[in-house]
Each structure stands twice: as C-alpha cells, then as structure tokens.
A and B are shown apart, each in its own frame.
Chain A
Amino acid sequence: MDDTKPLINKAMPDDARGWAENQLCDGETVLFAVVGDLSLFEKYAASTLLITSRRAVIVDENHENGFFSAAFSDIEKVSVKRMYGNARMNFTMKSGEEVTVFRYTYAVADLCDVAAAFIEAVGRGEDQGAQMEIVASAYEKKMRVCPKCGRTLLRPGAECIKCQSKGKIVSKLLKYVKPQFPLLLTALLMSMASTALALLPPSLTQRLVDDVLPNGKMQSLVTIVLMLFGSYVIGTLLNGFRNFILRISGDRIVRYLRNDVYEKAQHLPMKFYDKTSTGSVINRISGDTNTLQAFMLRISQEIVVQAFMLVGIIIIMFIKDWKLSLLALCPVPLVVLGAKYFSRRIAPFYRRIWKRWAAVSSVLTDTIPCVRVVKSFAGEERAANKFKKYNDEWYKVDTSSAKITSTFPAVVSFVVTCGSLLIWGVGGSWVIKGTGGLTPGLLVAFLSYVSMFYGPVNFFAYLSDSYQGALASAERVLDILDAEPEPDFGKGNCPDKIEGKIEFRNVNFSFDRAKKTLSDINLTIEPGDIVGIVGTTGSGKSTLINLLMRFYDNYEGEILLDGQNIKDIDMAYYRSKIGYVQQEPMMFSDTIFNNIAYGVPDAHVEQVINAADVANAHDFIILQPDGYDSMLGERGVGLSGGERQRISIARAVLKNPSILVFDEATASVDSETENQIQEAIERLISGRTTLMIAHRLSTLRKANKIVVVDKGRIIECGTHDELMELKGKFYRLIQIQSMSEQVSKQKAEENFE
C-alpha cells in the first residue's frame, strides 16, 4: 500500500476532490474515501465519504453547503442501517443529535461498515495506525475482484479463472474431443469415402438412360447394376462401421465431460448451492452434456462431410452443365438469409425453454425425495398442480418455439422444391428442343445431384439451430466447470496432531449483504472443552458451525485451530478431523455398513462394528434381516429417526475425529431414544473438543462452557452455574423450557389418569 495516497474504491468525484484540495486544515490528510452512488434523497448520484486524520466528511449536494463534517471527538456513535437495496449511515453526536449523513447502495456497503468502525474506534482514542490496517485489509478484499468480470478472486491479484479460460466455447470443449481424434479421423475418412461413393450412382444412371437402355447393351446393364450394387454394399458397410465408431467416441466424450462436471459440482462452495437449485445442477449434468456431445460430433464430423459433399457436388454439377448449375444455386441465398433470421429468432427460445425445464426439474427433485412429507400433509394434489403449472409453462414456451422450428424447415423445403421445378422446367425444355447438348440421362443425373446438393445446404441452414441449443447448454455446463471451487489455500498442510483448540477472532459474516448473520464473534475453546451453543431459532448457531466446517469462507476475521488459521490447513484433512452429526442425518442409497464407513471407506469390518456399538446402533442393526447389508434409501427408509441418527453418530465415531460437532442431534427424537443417543454421544466425546448446538438445554448437562447466541452475537458465555447466576437470556431459556416441560408432564399425567 502506498502510504501517501488515500485508499479509495474508485475515481474521486470533482466536488469531493475540490473539498479535499481547499478545505483541509494544516497537517490534516485524507486517509481513505468511499465513493458512493446515491444521494441523500434517493437519486443515483456520486457522493463521497472522506475520512481524514481528524474528521469524517460527507460530500453530498443535499447537505448544507454541499458537505457535512464532524470531528471524531464530536461523534458519540456511528450506526449503519442496512435496508433493502440501500443503506444509510447515521452519526449520533455527543450533543445527542442524530443525523443521517450518508446514503449508498450495497456496492459500497462493506467499506462503509469498516469506515463506521474506524470512526468509532478512533473517536474512542484507539490507535489510528492499527485501525488503518483493518481499513486497508477491507480495501484489499474489495480489490479481490476481477476487474474484468467482477468475480471474487481466490486471493488479491490472482488470475480470474473465468477470464483466464475465456477463449471460445468450442476451444474449451475441444479438450474433450482431442483424445478421440484417432477414432474421429477414421470415421471422417470413412464418411468421405462413403460420400464419394454416393456421388457415383447418378453418373451411372446417366449412362443407363442415355446409352445402355436405348441401345440394348445387356452386358453393360449387368456391369452397371453390379457396380451400383457394389457401391451400395460398400457404402452401407462404411456407414455402419462409421456410426459404430462415432457412437463410441461420442460416449467417451460425454463420459469425460459428465465426470468433470460432477466432480466440479462436488467441489463447489455452499454459496453456489444456496443460489442454484439442485434440479438445475442435475439438469446440467444429465441433459446439457448430452446436447453438447451431439453438437461436438456434429462439428467434428458432419460439418466436414457435408462441406466435402457440397464442394464435390458443385464441381460435378459444373462439369456436367454449368448453366443448369447456376440455376440450381438460385435458391441458396434465400436459404442462407432465412437461416440467419431463424437463428436470431430461435436463440431466446432455447434459453427460455431451458429455464422452464429447470423449474420443472426443481419441482421433481424437491417433491419426489420428500414424498413422505407430501403425503403426510395431504399435498399430493398441490404437488401435482405445481408440477402441472411449471410443466404447462414449459409447454407454452416449447410450442411457441415449435412455430418457428416447424415453419422454417417447411419454407426451406418449399424453396428447394421450387429449385428442382426450375431445373425440370428449363432442363426439360432444353432436352425437348435439343439445345445445349442436354440429354434425358444427363437431366436425370443432374436432378439427382441437385437433390443431393440441397442436403448439405439444408444441413448448414439448420446448423445454427443446433448451434444455438448447444450454446445455451455449453453456457450452463461451463458455468459449473468455470465456477470457482472451494478455495484450498493450505493444500498439503496437514498438521501432525490436532489438539483441538478453536478460536474465533472478530468474525463477521453475512450470506447476502442485506443482513449480518454473525457479528463480532470472539470465542476461545480449549482442547477437550465441551461447549454448548444455545439460542433461539435463527440466532446464528448453525452459521457459526457452518463457518467452522468451512462451508463458507467469505467471512471477516479469523478462525484458528491450534493457533493456525483454518483457511491455511488442507481442507480435506481439516474436515476429516471433524465429526459432524446433523439434526436430519442423510443416508445414502447403500448398505448400513457402507453408510457407516462413508468417511473411512477402507475401514475394517470390526472397526465399523465397534463404531456402531459405541453409537448404540449395533443392537438394532443386528435385528435387521440383512444386518449390516441392509440397504438404506436416500433418507434411510425403514429406519426410525433415532436409528438413523445413531448410524450417523457411528459414522462420526469411525472417523476418530479430534473435534466433534453436534447440530441439534437429538432434536427430533423421543425422550427414550434421546437417552440412547445421549449415552452414545457421551462415550464419543470424552477427550475431544466438542461443540453441541442444542434446543433441549438438558442435553448440555455435560458442557463445561455454554455460549448464548442472539441475533448473530455472543451475548453470554460461561459455565451453567455462572449463566444461571447472571439471570440473563440463558436463565430465561431454562425457565421457559422447564415450565413447558412441567406443563407437558402434567398433561401426560392427566391423560394417564
């Protein structure tokens, strides 16, 4: 960072520059500036927040004299209010007056947050230099975006994956075609040979009509028929074998492409899935890759063959009769112009059809796996109606595109037929009049060539159609292939031993820029600590765990494990050291054994059995008819909630993790099952750093530290007794819960009596 130049997010507007040049006092310097984009009264306009070494100045034409200035020492509090699509900064002055001083969109909201913290900190008398370091890091983060496309880069100055691999779509996909070159080349040579063979029959027909039949040459007839037969046999063999080779190479292309897309999808960060429906991702992996395969084969094969055929026919036609050839070419400009128009019209339809189809797929992926929920809420009809609605939307768009896709071929076919009629009319009259040496055989042969000639013309006219479809597919597939994967800065850094000390330092996080989910999180967890995290729904408990699991990395501040930033540790290694048990355990469509061994695929049978035993799962597994070989469905069909939970605990046990995370692991089970699970958890956690999110506060009886989270902040932290003594939020939660437990108990007793 250049110390003499103020930090700024973009070019300073004239009025702010004018202020900085004329109004600064002696020895006062501008430290940083935030150039905003809204005026105080909601119009897009450049306004500027200038932070000097002494004061905060806002240059906005709506302030009196065009600016507002306040010394740090006069400001009591700076608050930032994030609204919907815009935010404002308020100063509460020491006099008690509250003033809205700056208004901006989310484009500069992060910088304004930092500026607000800076003003308050310096106002409190904290060291300006130290605060400037925080500001500088925020500016640096802001610059961590690609200047070309605006994507967040892996690190400041890193090359943008998207722009780096921009290139042409075809050249990107060529990577998948290249390994198939030998096969494709063979297929291409075969195609050219069969095309050349296809050009032979019309010439032989001409001889038959003009020479052999009128002169009764029997021997020649047999020879020509045999030649025709031979050409058909060889052509059929060539085409059959070529199709076989093409199928193989096509399948290989789509296999590699699909593998890559799926693998990439596994490594995409959670924020990608927050914004993209799973249906849309599945559609890209299954449908779009097929479309691309078809297109790649078209490009690598048919274009060459059709071009070869087109040129070959034109040459033969011109050799046979140049005047008729010119006539045959008459409809071509019409077909080409039509194709161009058609391509422009059809492009938006492909995108729209895909969008509608993705919506249909989303309904499928949402409702079919959740069929139990649908049925239990009698939602079959609603689900069917929703599906019908989306399907109807798809139908509407698809049928509108069908109007264009069906009209164009009909028009082309009509124009082409007219071209043939022209040849019949003009050529026929020349044969009758005997002009130009045109014989009936030559005319018949010429007409065969003309019909063959329109084949490639049609092909190239329709190429734009499949090109547009493939372009839309390529765009979506490349959206996954080019997406930034989860950053793994510490790849290869696998510490020998994990003690389990966890520290959150000044952590702030928001999913979108509208609302901060976590603010100022500072927490130290010692190795072996059992920490309970409590709070009301939506307070930020699970988000805290999500950050620890590195599902989201775009937070401010640091999370340390044994003194090392978790971002600097190899991600796979790091996650392998954490056992994570969720509220709703997911089961894969596999055996119970493989479900337990998911994290340690090469685990010994006895290790798996021991893990199941520790998790109190062994006893019910052995009662299953197929024991450990029992197949489980997507959500563990056939097992109760508690049983699924115990399998997921066994999964965690087998990993032998240094850190354990339980995200409301007993929230959805009855008291008896809860006891069994609790027993399993207690066995598992001994000696391990454990974080437990719990709704039922009774499950935290073993915790030696309890953290209370509220509205994204840690509001209380201490032992159970300390917090009870504090009589704060935790105390109230305990009161409320014991009251409701008492009521339920009373009700149960009344019913029993």
Chain B
Amino acid sequence: MNDRLYINADEARITYRGFAHVDLEMYDGRRFEDLEPRRLFPLSGLTKYITLLDRDMKEVALIRDLAAILPESREAVEKCLDEYYMIPKITEILERKEKNGLLKYRVMTNYGERAFDVRNRHSDIKNLYDGRVLFRDSDDNRYEIPDVTKLDKKSWMKINIDL
C-alpha cells in the first residue's frame, strides 16, 4: 500500500481546470492534472477529507481540511464540489400534501422553485441531530434543509408532521 498523500495546509496549489476538475501542484514540484475532488463524508463532513481522484478514479491526494489550505486552492475545490454535489437547500416549504400515499412537496430552494415527491417518509426524510433535514425524492435527487429551526413558521407547520 502506498503512503497516502495528505494535503494539510499550504504545501499544495490547486487550480480550477473546468467542470468539476482541478490541477494540483505540490511544493516539491510534483504535478497532477485533471483531478476530481470528492467528499469522503458528503453528509457529515462537508469541508473535511476531500479526496482528489484521477481519471481512473484512483486517489491521488487527500485534503484533510478545506479551511486549512490556501484560499485560492480552497475556492477552486469548493467550486468543483458545488458543481459535483447538487443538494439544493430548501429555504421555504410552499406546499405539502399527501396524495395516494405520496408526500408531494413544492419548495423554494437556492436553485429555484421545485416540486418533488417523497415515497416513504420514514426512510426518505432524515432529520439529523444538528437540525439538518435531508430529503430523497422518488427520482433519487437530494435536498436539504440546513437548519429546520430557522424555517419560517408557515414552513415549519407544514414540515413538522413529517419529522
């Protein structure tokens, strides 16, 4: 097993290459191109342990903490992650109704307005302990309420029954 290449702080420069890919240059001159950043913990650790994969999906390096790397590098990686992970943040629940055993939601997100169906409230709506609520719709798309306690009262009344 090879030693894992960790990126801890400013020993690497990461530049945005285009659609969800970056180039990596280490302080010792090693260069890696066309890498895809992915989260190792997409739910529980959004900014920690970001792996950089090459075209063969083999890990080239692992960023321990995005907050610790150079600001330009961080921006590049964050841009890629935003492109790769599409988890719209729900800001308002516009409508919620139950029909034929399906929960039908119409919500406002940071990507715009969206209507989606949830098949099973027990397995497809997860309320995490930090106030986050995750939804999975009938097409396997994901949505997130970053902090359910910060929703407006009307939205809260609508969502309350499913949590």
Interface residues in chain A, defined as those with a beta carbon under 8 Å from any beta carbon in chain B: 38, 42-45, 83-86, 88, 100, 105-107, 109, 146, 148-151, 162-163, 166, 275-276, 280, 347-348, 351-352, 355, 358, 476, 479, 482, 512-514
B140 touches A514 (CB 8 A): yes
Whole-angstrom distance from the CB of A219 to the nearest CB of chain B?
65
B87 touches A162 (CB 8 A): no
A85 touches B86 (CB 8 A): yes
Q: How many contacts between A and B, using CB within 8 angstroms?
A: 88
B1, CB-defined interface residue at 8 Å: no
B122 touches A476 (CB 8 A): yes
B117, CB-defined interface residue at 8 Å: yes
Bound-state CA distance A107–B87 (Å) is 14
Interface residues in chain B, defined as those with a beta carbon under 8 Å from any beta carbon in chain A: 19-20, 42, 82-88, 99-102, 109, 111-114, 117, 119-123, 138-142, 160-163
List 4 other contacts, CB 8 Å, given A88-B19, A148-B99, A150-B102: A38-B86, A85-B87, A107-B141, A148-B100
A105 touches B102 (CB 8 A): no
27 A-B residue pairs with CB within 8 Å = A38-B111, A42-B111, A44-B88, A44-B112, A83-B86, A84-B87, A86-B86, A106-B139, A106-B141, A107-B141, A148-B99, A149-B100, A150-B102, A150-B117, A150-B138, A166-B100, A275-B123, A347-B161, A348-B162, A348-B163, A351-B161, A352-B163, A358-B122, A476-B122, A479-B101, A479-B120, A513-B139
Chain A residues with Cβ below 8 Å from B19 are 88, 100
A42 touches B140 (CB 8 A): no
Set A43, A88, A105, A482: member contacting B141, Cβ < 8 A: A105
Chain B residues with Cβ below 8 Å from A347 are 161
With A42-B86, A45-B112, A83-B86 known as contacts, the answer to whether A162 contacts B100 (CB < 8 A) is yes
Bound-state CA distance A163–B119 (Å) is 13
Nearest to A85 among chain B residues (CB) is: B86
Bound-state CA distance A150–B140 (Å) is 13
B140 touches A513 (CB 8 A): yes
Chain A residues with Cβ below 8 Å from B114 are 44
Whole-angstrom distance from the CB of B74 to the nearest CB of chain A?
20
Chain B residues with Cβ below 8 Å from A107 are 139, 141
Set B84, B123, B139: member contacting A105, Cβ < 8 A: B139
B84 touches A84 (CB 8 A): yes
Chain A residues with Cβ below 8 Å from B113 are 44
Chain A residues with Cβ below 8 Å from B123 are 275-276
Nearest to A512 among chain B residues (CB) is: B140
A348 touches B100 (CB 8 A): no
Chain B residues with Cβ below 8 Å from A150 are 102, 117, 119, 138
A106 touches B161 (CB 8 A): no
B101 touches A105 (CB 8 A): no
B140 touches A163 (CB 8 A): no
A42 touches B83 (CB 8 A): yes
Bound-state CA distance A352–B139 (Å) is 25
Bound-state CA distance A477–B151 (Å) is 32
Bound-state CA distance A163–B100 (Å) is 6
Set A38, A106, A352: member contacting B140, Cβ < 8 A: A106
Residue among A105, A351, A352 with the highest chain B CB neighbour number at 10 A: A105
Nearest to A354 among chain B residues (CB) is: B122
A44 touches B111 (CB 8 A): yes
With A352-B163, A355-B122 known as contacts, the answer to whether A85 contacts B101 (CB < 8 A) is no
Nearest to B143 among chain A residues (CB) is: A85
Bound-state CA distance A165–B24 (Å) is 58
Chain B residues with Cβ below 8 Å from A105 are 86, 139, 141
Whole-angstrom distance from the CB of B53 to the nearest CB of chain A?
13
Chain B residues with Cβ below 8 Å from A148 are 99-100
Whole-angstrom distance from the CB of A280 to the nearest CB of chain B?
7
Chain A residues with Cβ below 8 Å from B102 are 149-150
Whole-angstrom distance from the CB of A342 to the nearest CB of chain B?
15
Bound-state CA distance A38–B114 (Å) is 11
B100 touches A84 (CB 8 A): no
Whole-angstrom distance from the CB of A393 to the nearest CB of chain B?
8
Whole-angstrom distance from the CB of B6 to the nearest CB of chain A?
24
B42 touches A84 (CB 8 A): yes
Whole-angstrom distance from the CB of A571 to the nearest CB of chain B?
24
Whole-angstrom distance from the CB of B9 to the nearest CB of chain A?
27
With A149-B100, A149-B102 known as contacts, the answer to whether A83 contacts B20 (CB < 8 A) is yes
Whole-angstrom distance from the CB of A535 to the nearest CB of chain B?
15
B121 touches A351 (CB 8 A): yes
Chain A residues with Cβ below 8 Å from B161 are 347-348, 351
Nearest to A479 among chain B residues (CB) is: B120
Bound-state CA distance A273–B83 (Å) is 32
Chain A residues with Cβ below 8 Å from B163 are 348, 352
Bound-state CA distance A65–B139 (Å) is 31
Those 4 A-B pairs whose CB atoms lie nearest each other, nearest first: A85-B86, A86-B86, A44-B112, A149-B100
Chain B residues with Cβ below 8 Å from A351 are 121, 161-162
Bound-state CA distance A137–B113 (Å) is 32
Bound-state CA distance A84–B140 (Å) is 10
A85 touches B141 (CB 8 A): yes
Bound-state CA distance A327–B36 (Å) is 77
Chain A residues with Cβ below 8 Å from B120 are 275-276, 479
